[in-house]
Amino acid sequence: MAGSYADRDGFIWMDGKLVPWRDANVHILTHAMHYASSVFEGERCYNGKIFKSRDHSERLLRSGQLLDMVIPYTVDQIEAAKYEALKANNLTDAYVRVIAFRGAGEMMGVAANLNPVRMAVAVWEWGAYYGDAKMKGAKLDISKWKRPSPETIPCAAKAAGLYMICTMSKHAAEAKGCSDAMMFDYRGYVAEATGANIFFVKDGEVHTPLPDCFLNGLTRQTVIGMLKAKGITVHERHIMPEELEGFEQCWLTGTAAEVTPVGQIGDHTFEVGALTREIAEDYEKLVRA
């Protein structure tokens, strides 16, 4: 599917009904547009089945709660909406975006507890997030922006506002010919990429940042479970920048990224090694099982 996301054929599920794609609009005074009062989920459907679908729906509701925003749908209703959107667009392999947000209403300021909370589901065909990087390894810049302290943001929520510095970091990375950027956290530890968690390999063991100030991704959790099932030691810990030069392999995980090898971060290079390829292949088998 090519062209503007605003100008496509198909249907988007909005507030309980299917709306023609081009008519799925909101008012300019929608609260989320001004104050980022929205949460979302990115999911992938493989062979007609959304991977970890209920886990995503449950997290959406938790994210809403963390933003003091009660989403007026149950997990079962969210599940039904996702599959209704897939059916309406005749898709069995697709990316699924669910978003809940404060709409336009009686209030137009920082407070908006009287405004309705709305929800929409859009689905579309989407290939590899990093293109051919899945084969040769992505090249990452190092962002100047840092993941903030959990005392300043609800870091366990998948909330739109938390991605502002991610957008800026990815733009800066792409301007340098990179696919993405790796971010440190407010303490200077390695954190994550702009929309994916990160893993490293050294001496046959895996190291991944402790998610104490950023989202503990569902794909991250899945991959850790896969590694442990293989008997591979996984260290979830704080990782210092100077450790990067000692790691042999690296990969990213996320619903969009799936398992993507990393070949370079700044001046540090990594091989797309056997374990990286094995985990990527095993993940592909799992999601299509």
Give the residues across from 11 on adjacent strands.
Answer: 20
User: CA geometry: angle at 55 spanning 81 and 101, to 5°?
Assistant: 55
> Which entry of 82, 139, 158, 170 is annotated as an active-site residue?
158
Backbone phi, psi, residue 125, to 5°: -75, 135
Give the residues across from 180 on adjacent strands.
Answer: 140
Chain length of the chain: 289
In terms of Cα–Cα distance, which of 238, 57, 73, 77 is closest to 158?
57
Q: Please answer whether residues 178 and 131 qualify as being in contact, where contact means their C-beta atoms are separated by less than 8 angstroms.
A: no
In terms of Cα–Cα distance, which of 116, 148, 156 is closest to 29?
116
Q: What distance in Å separates the CA atoms of residue 149 and residue 212, rounded to the nearest whole number?
A: 9
**Residue 158 annotated as catalytic:** yes
Write out the catalytic residue numbers.
158
